[in-house]
Structure 1
Amino acid sequence: MSRSTQSASDVAPLPARADLEGGLSVSEFLKNSAGTLTLADRRLIVDQALVLLEQNYVHLPLKIAMHAVNPVQRLRLLRTQLTRVTQQTMGPEWQFHREMASIFMSVRDLHTNYLLPKPFAGQVAYLPFVLEKATEDGIDHYLVTSIITGFSAPGFELGVEVTHWNGVPIGTAVAINGLRLAGSNQAANLARGLDSLTIRPLITQLPPEEEWVQVTYLTGDGSVAETRVAWEVGPNLPPTTDLDTLSPASLASAVDLDADARNQARKQLYHHDVVRLEQEQQVHAESGQPAEPAAVGSADIPTTMPAVFRARTVQTTHGTFGQIRIFTFSVTDPIAFRDEFVRLIGLLPQHGLIVDVRGNGGGHLHASEFTLQTLTPRAITPEPVQFIATPLNLALCRRHAAGAEGIDLGPWFPSLDQAIETGATFSAGYSITPPAGANELGQTYHGPTVLVTDARCYSATDFFAAGWADHEIGPILGVDDRTGAGGANVWTHQLLLQLLGDRSSESTSPYTRLPQGTNMRVAIRRGLRVGALAGTPVEDLGVTPTVRHELTRADILHGNVDLLERAGEILAGMPMRRLAVSATRIGSDLSIVVDADGVDRVDVSVNGRPVASPDVAGAAVTLSATGAAAGTVVLAQGYQKGNLVAARRIVV
């Protein structure tokens, strides 16, 4: 299969060959996908699922209460049913996979998944177009925003409105499809129901039951047309990070795997230029050369991470501002992520910044929480996380209480040990992100900022949005009424097995290797808010925006013009700040120059010791300090009417 694409996104793709070579129809794919799981394999899988949900799953009490579900009892019933059949009389494998996926999805937690084995894993089912929702005058419209060239139907082009899906009104079809999935709230269910109408990663979802869909749509002249569109199945791009390998990235993982795989598929189908740039940079990295910054679109600032960031200057009727999209936090080097973010926003206008995390399914918690410090003068308190108090989690923390092998679960061990006596449901809360790293750099951008979110924001992005709100960094402009509400650190079964050992060799371990490449994930530690909502879980609740904006037809088809106008209006109404600090070493003394706007006082310290607290009125102030050695840290904190509003940290 070789196709180019059309797209109505804010950055049109470059002409390129589609990468899903050898796409198959659903029937062809399933014909070549005979199951290989034995009855013993199925029983083992159910047993291991019981271990994860009964003894590791941190949200189990919350899910039972909020959604009236009992996944543990469903697994027990399935296990009983498997004792009553033989190898010859057991049902087809797809039926077993569907039941397991349904049990995991019943908890409505995108962190807690049953992951299908090969040949499903690594594949994606897709239709040759993408739909997005626009709302005008309270009415939802579902518009075609991307089309794979090679697909054609009379009048079917970018911007056409789909009205029915297999004869069902499109809004109802989206809602019904969303009920099959694991969104934590209605907004998340609807968002995922829409996404999976046309793209379904087969690591988390089985292929569609239907081989084709009947699409009813309005052509450009307003007439009604119909076309039959066949599903295809082809290889997806690999995940952005390896979550099974024991590493800092996997231990600090907080990602919606389904969204990550879907974004990889979208990138492969509709943004070949990004794939090409990533491949070129990978070649540089493998040869030991630093990646050269590259731009996806002509308006973009070149970046070393084209699949992670997109930065540009935007013009609105309220002024000219910077915009940075963060597509994912799935990286292996969170400090490189933070530093590239800082570099990019430093090249944008300094009098207003739009940080857009829509569609970001999360990733590395350190990358998420390390970035917050760059936008606020406040000290960042990373979200604390808790284990559920069970004997198995106690064994995990006891095994890694001393920080051996670079894995430190020691902070959680005493409270889990004590829970045996106190009956506490959860351990004490400690952050995964080191507070020192979350405050190492400090504020670098001093203009007003606004965060843009939607219901697809999940996991590490929920942590980012919660941290933004809890530290009062700026307004949150939401295109949905809350974020996706994924509040946990997530580990795979393979990772847990490495942490505690295989049952066959470690008598104290309940884990054993899963057959035929099957895998599972579980929310292992739940995140709690800080600040005014301290102690509130993020899971199921998410982060509520301060301002709502429903995406319009112009947003969907013309680069978010109305959304950016609304963001510009918010930024234009916020106060401006500027704080510049420089220091010159003269022997063992320092000459420090502070230049600030929008503040009335600046407190200056050197290596943590106060030096001066001058009033400022738009003119630069020069100070002196003695006894400065190399590596001296100068911190300037600007106040307005007694409130800390800006900070700058430099190392001399």
Structure 2
Amino acid sequence: MFKLSTVASLLALSFTTGAMAQISYLEDTRDQISIQDYSYEQKALVAEQAKLLLDGLYVNKYAKNLYYGLSPAGHLDPVVAVDDLINNMGNLSSSQFHQQLQKIFLSQRDFHLDYNYPAPMKNFVSFVPVHFAQTVNTDGSKEVRVNRIWQNYTVLAPDTSTVSLGDKVIAYNGQAVTDVVNNTLFQGGGANPDGGFVGALNNLTIKSHNKQMPPQNDALTLTLESYETGEIYSVNLPWLVYNGNPTTQANTEDNAAQFTQSINYEFATFKELEAAAQDSAFALAANATAEPTVTWNKVQVDGESVGYIKIASFSPKNGTNTALVAIIDILDNQLSDTKALIIDVRSNPGGNILYNDYLLQLFTPKLVTPSHVRFINTPENHHILNNSLFGTYLSDNWHQVLADVQGTNEQYSAATSFMTKDAANQIGQAYYGNVGVWANANTYSAGDMFTCGMQDNGIATVFGQHKRTGAGGANVIEHGLFVQYVGAPYQALPYDQSMRVSWRQSVRQGHHINALIEDYGCVANEVVSYNVEDIFDGDTQDFNTIARKLLAKPTARATLAFNSDRFASVAETNGVYNFDVTNTEYVDVYIDGTKVKRISAFAYGTQAKTISYTLPSNVTTGTVQFVGLDSGKTRLWNSTRFF
């Protein structure tokens, strides 16, 4: 077994990322991964704060009890369970207290509901450099196979060299791997059968100690079947430990952004370690942008150009505006000649809901409906909105929907949105071909919302590696924000401990009006299962399958092509906009959202007709939107120009 001195020298040679200098072995680090000893008063404080969240603010508490039922070994009623804990905590050690409270939170199978262990324990993550995926055979049977080997870490675990991609996982520490996964569904955090399985599967090889206790053994024993030879073999992999600051809140551009987050931090941690390993599975995403979480490519499929955009996270590193501009630029200048577009949000852990809502309009001529969420109707929520600084960050619509149910027996408020419908449509359309969204059961939170939003608004076909997305249907708020902006009864926790809660529940619109995302997820229109061949071909086979399905769909008959850049100034255009259209009866013109003219285009057939419009001389800054209509005044296309 390697020792710390060996690790340090190897890392110095192998890695350039600063975080990698904090890797050690579990056997050398176990004593540091510890829980502080809490006094009775500290336990009482933590338990009461947990109850404030679970009873007064947790928006999914009713729905979870209905969806999963109650079981001592499975889902627990969070309010009853925390009351039992409070009554018994005098008999519990600090470790027992934290683990029992953690069990209550994890049993909800909700990645937005977090009970994080105190420092220093929460700063550690244990992992092995081999990771698994569920694959589907041609007969529909499912297996667990090795789909990722983090090569930059394997120098610390030499036995990894005997493991190959595609090898079938038979046993995990001597137990059948499917039994291990099924026995830990209520510890893995994932919702529904698909999300639950992949959540538990992820947890087999990476354990964040903000939620999970360290593995009992210093090494993991795997029994595998070679994909190449069929040989059964075993391997022992040492648990590696990353010691750094705990995953913090996703990039927020201002205080208000902290109120619109929806992200799975556990999977985000996985992605950070993956990035540090310089390991990327997204071979299709060949071209970078100014926003690292957005990449793209143009792929030839059967002689046709198909666009590809990978959105790795809805927490853009360089801010929402940079990400939006990057995507608009791709659509306007790189993929404008493609007949179909695949938007890949597989394994997207979520992030900023506003970012997700702004994106929808880019892919449709129709007016989109943004995400809607609702409150649980409790005295605690009424106090927060009406009697605290916290409430001042929320616009009038939030206050109104909660006021409407105050004093009633309604469990929830009406649903409302983070932005107005006008705001959700102010950028306009930027892509005019057929669109598919590629998702899986690791698509979570704002990733769920985007996928469902594209489906609910009739914008895209959803293609799933699994039947459902990860089913994270809530806006999440940190307990610390309530402490900061509400005050009493919310109090800071000992030893840098933290919690967060699913505060507002996502309610679907459009084609799935009033359906929940939580637990149910977004059901794929078509399932394109992940199989063993996909491990080796960089998803090319599945990409081609999806592309062919999109190319086979009817395309819009009406077309639009501009002769100037979307962001060209008046000085560049002289206020004149020329554009070519086909199969368009009329063009409505809007300046800064107000309709100013209807142009009779009378462009029939495929022969393009040039339309010209000149801005009024007194208009020098703002937006002008052109909306193509058919004879029945149905919207065919739209484009907004910024000047």
Query: Which of 305, 329, 336 pairs up with 1:320?
Result: 305
Correspondence for 1:395: 383
Q: 1:3, 1:544 → 2: CA distance?
A: 48
Deviation at 1:588, TM superposition (A): 13
Correspondence for 2:142: 140
Q: 2:314, 2:623 → 1: CA distance?
A: 29
Deviation at 1:637, TM superposition (A): 2.3
Correspondence for 2:532: 553
Q: 1:558, 1:270 → 2: CA distance?
A: 19
TM-score, normalisation: structure 1: 0.86
Q: 1:606, 1:246 → 2: CA distance?
A: 31
Q: 2:215, 2:572 → 1: CA distance?
A: 73
1:620 matches 2:609: yes
CA change 1:82–1:633 in 2 (3 A) is: closer
Correspondence for 1:52: 53
1:152 matches 2:136: no
Query: Which of 196, 203, 213 pairs up with 2:220?
Result: 213
Is the CA contact 2:35–2:118 (under 8 Å) kept in the aligned structure 1? no
Is the CA contact 1:321–1:348 (under 8 Å) kept in the aligned structure 2? no
Secondary structure at 1:420's aligned position in 2? coil
TM-score, normalisation: structure 2: 0.87
CA change 1:462–1:75 in 2 (3 A) is: same
Deviation at 1:611, TM superposition (A): 2.5
CA change 1:601–1:632 in 2 (3 A) is: farther
The 5-angstrom pairing of residues 466-481 of structure 1 reads 466-481=452-467
Tell me the matched-pair count.
605
Correspondence for 1:109: 110
Correspondence for 2:72: none
The 5-angstrom pairing of residues 134-283 of structure 1 reads 134-137=135-138, 138-141=140-143, 142-147=145-150, 148-150=153-155, 151-153=157-159, 155-219=162-226, 220-236=228-244, 239=247, 241=249, 247-271=255-279
Correspondence for 2:407: 421
1:532-582, CA deviations, whole angstroms, 9 ceiling, x for partnerless residues? 222222212211111111112221222102210111112211334531245
The 5-angstrom pairing of residues 32-71 of structure 1 reads 32-36=32-36, 37-68=38-69, 69-71=76-78
Is the CA contact 2:251–2:319 (under 8 Å) kept in the aligned structure 1? no
Is the CA contact 2:372–2:417 (under 8 Å) kept in the aligned structure 1? yes
1:454-513, CA deviations, whole angstroms, 9 ceiling, x for partnerless residues? 111111111111110111112111111111111111101101111211xxxxxxx21111
CA change 1:403–1:395 in 2 (3 A) is: closer
CA change 1:387–1:3 in 2 (3 A) is: farther
Q: 2:285, 2:196 → 1: CA distance?
A: 34
1:231-287, CA deviations, whole angstroms, 9 ceiling, x for partnerless residues? 12222576363589981221111111111122112222343x99xxxxxxxxxxxxx
Q: 2:193, 2:132 → 1: CA distance?
A: 19
Deviation at 1:626, TM superposition (A): 6.8
Is the CA contact 1:130–1:145 (under 8 Å) kept in the aligned structure 2? yes
CA change 1:211–1:579 in 2 (3 A) is: same
Q: 2:508, 2:166 → 1: CA distance?
A: 40
Secondary structure at 1:523's aligned position in 2? strand
Q: 1:494, 1:579 → 2: CA distance?
A: 49
- Aligned-residue Cα RMSD (Å) equals 3.0
Residue type of the alignment partner of 1:611: R
Correspondence for 2:475: 489
Is the CA contact 1:105–1:182 (under 8 Å) kept in the aligned structure 2? yes
Correspondence for 2:4: none
The 5-angstrom pairing of residues 267-416 of structure 1 reads 267-271=275-279, 300-306=286-292, 308-317=293-302, 319-331=304-316, 333-350=319-336, 351=338, 352-399=340-387, 404=392, 407-416=393-402
Residue type of the alignment partner of 1:30: R
CA change 1:79–1:221 in 2 (3 A) is: same
CA change 1:593–1:348 in 2 (3 A) is: closer
Secondary structure at 1:433's aligned position in 2? coil
Deviation at 1:19, TM superposition (A): 4.0
CA change 1:245–1:59 in 2 (3 A) is: farther
Q: Give the share of equivalent positions with the same residue, in percent.
A: 23
Q: Which moved more, 1:19-28 or 1:57-66?
A: 19-28
Secondary structure at 1:615's aligned position in 2? strand
Residue type of the alignment partner of 1:420: Q
Deviation at 1:341, TM superposition (A): 1.6
1:216-238, CA deviations, whole angstroms, 9 ceiling, x for partnerless residues? 12233322111122212222576
Q: 1:18, 1:146 → 2: CA distance?
A: 21
Residue type of the alignment partner of 1:124: V
1:565-609, CA deviations, whole angstroms, 9 ceiling, x for partnerless residues? 111112211334531245897999965433134x44342314212
CA change 1:414–1:16 in 2 (3 A) is: closer
Deviation at 1:79, TM superposition (A): 0.8
CA change 1:422–1:241 in 2 (3 A) is: closer
Residue type of the alignment partner of 1:35: I
Q: 1:175, 1:59 → 2: CA distance?
A: 23
Is the CA contact 1:143–1:159 (under 8 Å) kept in the aligned structure 2? yes
Q: 1:579, 1:344 → 2: CA distance?
A: 17
Is the CA contact 2:35–2:119 (under 8 Å) kept in the aligned structure 1? no
Residue type of the alignment partner of 2:200: G
Residue type of the alignment partner of 1:53: L
Q: 2:642, 2:250 → 1: CA distance?
A: 35
1:140-199, CA deviations, whole angstroms, 9 ceiling, x for partnerless residues? 341242143323337323333322222223333333333422222010011112211111
1:358-386, CA deviations, whole angstroms, 9 ceiling, x for partnerless residues? 00110011111111111111222212221
Is the CA contact 1:246–1:495 (under 8 Å) kept in the aligned structure 2? no
Deviation at 1:408, TM superposition (A): 2.2
Residue type of the alignment partner of 1:541: Y
Secondary structure at 1:424's aligned position in 2? coil
Secondary structure at 2:133's aligned position in 1? strand
Residue type of the alignment partner of 2:481: L
Is the CA contact 1:129–1:146 (under 8 Å) kept in the aligned structure 2? yes
Q: 1:16, 1:192 → 2: CA distance?
A: 30
Secondary structure at 1:613's aligned position in 2? strand
Secondary structure at 1:95's aligned position in 2? helix
Residue type of the alignment partner of 2:416: Y
1:275-313, CA deviations, whole angstroms, 9 ceiling, x for partnerless residues? xxxxxxxxxxxxxxxxxxxxx97972231222x122122
Q: Which moved more, 1:430-439 or 1:376-385?
A: 430-439
Secondary structure at 2:223's aligned position in 1? strand
In structure 2, the gaps of 5 or more residues are 1-6, 70-75
Q: 1:587, 1:455 → 2: CA distance?
A: 47
Is the CA contact 2:170–2:225 (under 8 Å) kept in the aligned structure 1? yes
CA change 1:535–1:369 in 2 (3 A) is: same
Residue type of the alignment partner of 2:184: N
Q: Which moved more, 1:317-326 or 1:458-467?
A: 317-326
CA change 1:225–1:17 in 2 (3 A) is: farther
Is the CA contact 1:456–1:483 (under 8 Å) kept in the aligned structure 2? yes
Q: 1:401, 1:82 → 2: CA distance?
A: 33
Q: Which moved more, 1:140-149 or 1:323-332?
A: 140-149
Correspondence for 2:85: 78
In structure 1, the gaps of 5 or more residues are 6-13, 275-295, 502-508
Residue type of the alignment partner of 2:508: R
